A and B are shown apart, each in its own frame.
Chain A
Amino acid sequence: MKKRFLYAALCLAIAATTSCSKVDNYAAPSATISGKTVDEATGETVQTEIGGGGTRVKLLEISYSSNPVPEYFQSKQDGTFNNTKVFPATYKVSVEGPFVPIVQTDNTGAVISDASQTITLKNTADLTFKVQPFLKVEWVGKPVVNADKSVTVQVKVTRGTTNPAYQQDITNINLYVSNTQYDGSNNYDPRYSNLVSYSGATGTALLGQTITITTTGGALPDQDVYFRVGARINAGLNEYNYSTPMTAN
């Protein structure tokens, strides 16, 4: 009995030591793609939200296939991006987000413009994409704390493009309130945020004007609170353009 147990143990030991010795011999992805998406008119980065509803970078590895499955990575909230785990290869790089698409097609699918950048990535690449955001949301002054501890902000929303295909009406101008700076349509406190939908041209009529928005739900809590205003038109995937996040004081 004991002997059989020893044999079994020996077999197991042999099996354990002779398992596949071929380690993964492919070097880990080590190249870096970084850069930013900027408004071609102002040179400022295009604000976006974190997560799936914001700007993302699209990589087509054309050294692998002429028709590759695209890979994506998400931009940061401030419009910059950085991916340090990319395989060295030739990529066609573009960005997708709340701005006039880098690759534009007409209604039959024909490509009418393509501002993708093709790079041969060895170590690092730093890319700047100049785009036309659908909307620009700018602060007018700083958020003001009212007597009842609610907060009033003022913003100005303007169009970032004159492209006739992207002049849809404004559907939403929202003041988001959050206790982190990662403020946006997917991360806000619904008790205090003030969300306004517009139908027809009523939202569009606010273009260029100073818009005053006050938080809802009374007094804000005594803690760090970040404010951010998002606005959108019904174009593409209906994503928001944002102001920078700002605190009240």
Chain B
Amino acid sequence: MSSRTNYHLDHLQYLETEAIHIMREVAGEFERPALLFSGGKDSICLLRLAEKAFRPSDIPMPLLNVDTGHHFPELNTFRDHRAAQLGARLIVRKVEDAIANGIATPTEGETSRNRLQIPTLLAAIEEFRFDCLIGGARRDEEKARAKERFFSFRDSFGQWDPKNQRPEIWNLYNTRVNSGEHMRAFPISNWTEMDVWEYIKREQLEVPSIYFTHPRQCVRRSGQWLPVSELAPPKPSETVRELNVRVRTIGDIISTGMIESPADDVDDILTEIAAARITERAARADDRSAEAAMEDRKKAGYF
């Protein structure tokens, strides 16, 4: 914002001021908000936007993360490091604990933790009586998200009703909820994957190392390179290969496809995205299962 002529905002500055406005609406309108921080690239941008919205004051809300127990370890290390750096309060709620307490119940043979993080999250909302969660979802990620509002209402069961969303006119957000209901706010709804990386570059933001190329043992499964880990050991029929890979989007370690890439810095990533021929979420096995996979999870209370 230092040097400028003729009062022009470029696209990133426009997206930034829109997001800061939403951050401040949350702080101004809710009593007990929290910010969902996973350590992934989108929530990294959210944290910088929160700094821009609220500094020199403390960020007026805690950070919340639901740990599925299947996270990449690098992600959790980064999450803790960044929270400490900001002097922010970080609340972590674990799917393991939710299972132990009977809050979440895995079905026989269920390996994905996608479904199980929903009750874990809703229990955390109840425990802290959060009335608004700020999340890093973007509309360009997925078709069902393309129809979600900046302020997305959740009923007392945490459910999203896509057919009955509040119309969102101008930048006048209806933030009202009754006790027990809550709101999800998505300040970077209008950002694309490219915008996120351009912002990371402009703001010189740290990101977890797994976004950059590194050698890793992988197996080929359903057309993707899946990382070999204790949670996902190779099947007898599979050949383990060590490849130079990175992640484009981060889900659980058992379902995140790695992409072969030499990208070693943010400029490389920007070049790679510009030339990419598949979408970011194509690397997420959880979204590939059914055309309406995300819609179904969101209705049930997913992020």
Chain A bound to chain B: no
Which residues of B are at the interface with A, using a C-beta cutoff of 8 A? none
